[in-house]
């Protein structure tokens, strides 16, 4: 029997609630399929760890994660710890340390979930956003001088490399090629940003020649928000920089019904290191401990994890169970229902057990 080692890092806020739900669904799947087993080790890293130890994770944290097949991550963020500390202390060191350069964010309207867009239902919005996840605007390059003085300066330098842009572009074209519509939209801002963004456009055109069967077009990021809102059906696979895709994927999540259903996978396509799977949302301290966090984003990312591990049948079974439950109207309050995290999770586990 195949056997996978999973590192669970629930971390902050609703992270522990949704990761517990995700593990319950994964357990139901492993039991049902019988073809694989998951060995899960949980790590108590995050803001509580920071309050005790002054760091979000131990110094050898990423070293310890190397032994795992995948990382199942909740969320970071606490009201009393600055966001740049929580993010740069845990999530980004894992993404960057493991060179998880492809951040893959599928979005579609699940049955039973209403899009805020009038007249748009399941089938009208089915996208995958590929976000460059290793450089760009989040390279961490910059600095501050003359702190606190009137002449203080702060710089945040976006870094784009030919290697970095080429590899994410190939990943996106390959993904578009694997989807039925074979359609890719490359997003930049190459009118106002005339160096790195123009290089993106040029590299896109070069890589496109390797994929003659993929239809592709270009959009400026501001116009892209309009197209996503007014012509969702005209899009399929989308590739954009770290910052642009971060923003566009929050919009995508909202257009598909809620941030609570949006998943993400931080992938090292070369499989040198474990990849990391997480819901897109943050720690949501406004609903922490209330038992109403939507676990669907976490189920969906668990499905991405199974796909990556080489268990496509279990991955599909999990998504089918999720869609069955949303279609039945068993929904948490963020998507208009009254169900709790536990009720949705139990329903999904039951759907897994009873599926043919
Ligand atoms: P957030 O994603 O935590 O919450 C935004 C809104 O969506 C809130 O009203 C929340 O209740 C709702 N929401 C989010 N996930 C939900 C779910 N599963 N079920 C139901 N409702 C859900 O973003 P916010 O409030 O801007 O940030 C809170 C903290 O999370 C901050 O410290 C932020 O830095 C951090 N954060 C961390 C991320 C990560 O770990 N990857 C990503 C985004 C934010
Ligand atoms: Mg974001």
Ligand number with the minimum distance to the CA of 281: 1
Model confidence at 164: pLDDT above 80: yes
Model confidence at 126: pLDDT above 80: yes
User: Is the CB of residue 339 below 6 angstroms from any atom belonging to ligand 1?
Assistant: no
Local confidence band at 355 (pLDDT 50, 70, 90 cut-offs): confident
Cα–Cα dist 12/80, whole Å: 12
The answer to whether 64 touches 30, Cβ cutoff 8 Å, is no
Active site residue 334: no
- Mean pLDDT of all residues in the chain? 96
The answer to whether 164 touches 241, Cβ cutoff 8 Å, is no
Per-position DSSP letters for 127-192, written without gaps between them: EEEEEE-SSEEEEEEEEEESTTSTT-EEEEEEE--HHHHHHHHHHHHHHHHHSTT-EEEEEE-TTT
Using a pLDDT cut of 90, give the percent of the chain over it.
94
Query: Which residue's CA lies nearest to atom 40 of ligand 1?
Result: 75
Query: Which residue's CA lies nearest to atom 30 of ligand 1?
Result: 282
Report the atom number in ligand 1 closest to the C-alpha of 78.
32
Span 39-56, pLDDT tens digits: 999 999 999 999 999 999
**Number of H helices and number of E strands within the chain?**
12, 12
**Mean pLDDT of all residues in 97-118:** 95
Local confidence band at 290 (pLDDT 50, 70, 90 cut-offs): very high
Neighbouring CB atoms inside 10 A of 222's CB total: 12
Confidence (pLDDT) at 289: 96
Active site residue 4: no
Q: What is the value of ipTM here, to two decimals? A: 0.97
Active site residue 222: yes
Confidence (pLDDT) at 271: 97
**Mean pLDDT of all residues in 233-241:** 98
Using a pLDDT cut of 70, give the percent of the chain over it.
100
Model confidence at 34: pLDDT above 90: no
The answer to whether 15 touches 283, Cβ cutoff 8 Å, is yes
Task: Specify the DSSP class assigned to residue 313.
Answer: H
Local confidence band at 146 (pLDDT 50, 70, 90 cut-offs): very high
> Where does CATH 3.40.718.10 sit in the chain?
1-101+269-356, 126-255
Confidence (pLDDT) at 168: 98
Active site residue 201: no
Report the atom number in ligand 1 closest to the C-alpha of 76.
40
Per-position DSSP letters for 244-297, written without gaps between them: HHHHHHHHHHHHTT-GGG-EEEEE-TT-SS-EEEEESS---TTTTTSS----HH
Confidence (pLDDT) at 8: 98
Whole-number Å distance, alpha carbon 330 to ligand 1 midpoint, is 22
Confidence (pLDDT) at 35: 85
Cα–Cα dist 302/286, whole Å: 24
Class of domain 1-101+269-356: alpha beta
Confidence (pLDDT) at 293: 98
pTM: 0.94
Report the atom number in ligand 1 closest to the C-alpha of 287.
11
Answer with the residue of higher pLDDT: 355 or 326: 326
Whole-number Å distance, alpha carbon 312 to ligand 1 midpoint, is 29
- Structure tokens, 239: 């590739």
Local confidence band at 1 (pLDDT 50, 70, 90 cut-offs): confident
Span 38-97, pLDDT tens digits: 999 999 999 999 999 999 999 999 999 999 999 999 999 999 999 999 998 999 899 989
Active site residue 138: yes
User: Is the CB of residue 296 below 6 angstroms from any atom belonging to ligand 1?
Assistant: no
Cα–Cα dist 131/129, whole Å: 6
**Mean pLDDT of all residues in 236-250:** 96
Span 294-309, pLDDT tens digits: 999 999 999 999 999 9
Cα–Cα dist 309/347, whole Å: 25
Buried b (16+ CB within 10 A) or exposed e, 204-215: beebbeebeebe
Cα–Cα dist 142/228, whole Å: 32
Model confidence at 356: pLDDT above 80: no
User: Is the CB of residue 76 below 6 angstroms from any atom belonging to ligand 1?
Assistant: yes
Local confidence band at 33 (pLDDT 50, 70, 90 cut-offs): confident
Whole-number Å distance, alpha carbon 279 to ligand 1 midpoint, is 10
**Mean pLDDT of all residues in 187-197:** 94
Q: What is the DSSP pairing of strand 2-11 with strand 70-75?
A: parallel
What dotted CATH number matches 126-255? 3.40.718.10
Contacts of 237 (CB under 8 A, 6+ apart): 127, 128, 130, 172, 175, 176, 179, 183, 184, 185
- Structure tokens, 219: 């959009």
**Cα-trace Rg, the chain:** 20
């Amino acid at each position: 029997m195949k056997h996978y080692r999973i590192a669970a890092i629930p971390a902050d806020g609703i992270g522990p609630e949704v990761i517990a739900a995700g593990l319950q669904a994964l357990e139901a799947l492993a039991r049902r399929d019988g073809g694989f087993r998951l060995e899960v080790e949980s790590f108590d890293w995050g803001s509580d760890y920071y309050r005790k130890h002054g760091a979000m994770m131990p110094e050898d944290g990423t070293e310890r994660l190397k032994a795992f097949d995948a990382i199942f991550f909740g969320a970071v963020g606490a009201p009393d710890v600055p966001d740049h500390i929580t993010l740069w202390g845990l999530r980004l060191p894992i993404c960057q340390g493991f060179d998880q350069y492809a951040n893959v964010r599928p979005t579609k309207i699940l049955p039973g979930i209403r899009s805020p867009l009038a007249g748009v239902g399941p089938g009208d919005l089915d996208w995958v956003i590929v976000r460059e996840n290793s450089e760009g605007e989040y390279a961490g390059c910059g600095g501050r001088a003359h702190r606190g003085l009137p002449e203080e300066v702060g710089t945040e330098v976006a870094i784009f490399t030919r290697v970095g842009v080429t590899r994410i572009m190939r990943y996106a074209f390959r993904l578009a090629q694997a989807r039925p519509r074979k359609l890719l939209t490359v997003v930049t801002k190459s009118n106002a940003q005339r160096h790195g963004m123009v290089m993106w456009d040029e590299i896109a055109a070069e890589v496109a020649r390797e994929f003659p069967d993929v239809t592709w077009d270009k959009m400026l990021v501001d116009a892209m928000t309009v197209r996503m809102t007014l012509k969702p059906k005209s899009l399929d696979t989308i590739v954009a920089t770290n910052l642009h895709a971060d923003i566009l994927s929050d919009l995508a999540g909202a257009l598909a019904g809620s941030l609570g259903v949006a998943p993400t996978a931080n992938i090292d396509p070369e499989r040198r290191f474990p990849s990391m799977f997480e819901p897109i949302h943050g720690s949501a301290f406004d609903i922490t401990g209330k038992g109403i966090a939507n676990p669907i984003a976490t189920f969906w990312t668990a499905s991405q994890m199974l796909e990556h591990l080489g268990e496509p049948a279990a991955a599909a079974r999990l998504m089918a169970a999720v869609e069955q439950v949303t279609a039945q109207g068993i929904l948490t309050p963020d998507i208009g229902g009254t169900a709790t995290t536990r009720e949705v999770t139990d329903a999904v586990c039951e759907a897994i057990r009873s599926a043919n």
